[in-house]
Structure 1
């Protein structure tokens, strides 16, 4: 298993972590990802969960963990709920690659 978010570098798209957490919680998560993967992704703060809801990832007052792809028009073209996306980065990259090829 690769423990590196640089596996995502092959995709020509901007990548972010969308979170409704407080800045302190986001900083902690950023640090944890950096420690685990050697790097992290930038965060988009979504305190009202509008983008999270647009992705269909809202679960009451919290967000599901997972990943997705939004096109340049703001249309959600793929999403997957997966609490273990980071621990299963090889599978995550395969899922993203499959969907990415459909739009390229």
Structure 2
């Protein structure tokens, strides 16, 4: 089993080599990463990219639906082309599902 060398010993060895050579040793750095990849993954993990489309859908929903429907419903998620809608009353759910479903699909296309 290999022995683990303490960081103090590594530091002393580094200082000794620098003094002996008369030059500082190059610092060990991590390889560079593309900033666009890092920013994109950070935004995805925060959910910023999806919140923009959700706000657009919320405003479009309120503009397209009759006042009674938009007051009693709200889109809660939009993923893979599906809209999830929260409904306050069962009668509104029935109206959306049975009577307005095709109209809603046509409006959002």
If the length of structure 1 is used for normalisation, what is the TM-score? 0.23
- Between Structure 1 and Structure 2, the one with more strand by share is 1
If the length of structure 2 is used for normalisation, what is the TM-score? 0.23
**Taking CA–CA contacts closer than 8 Å with sequence separation of 6 or more, which of the two structures ends up with the larger relative contact order?**
1
**Structure of larger gyration radius:** 2
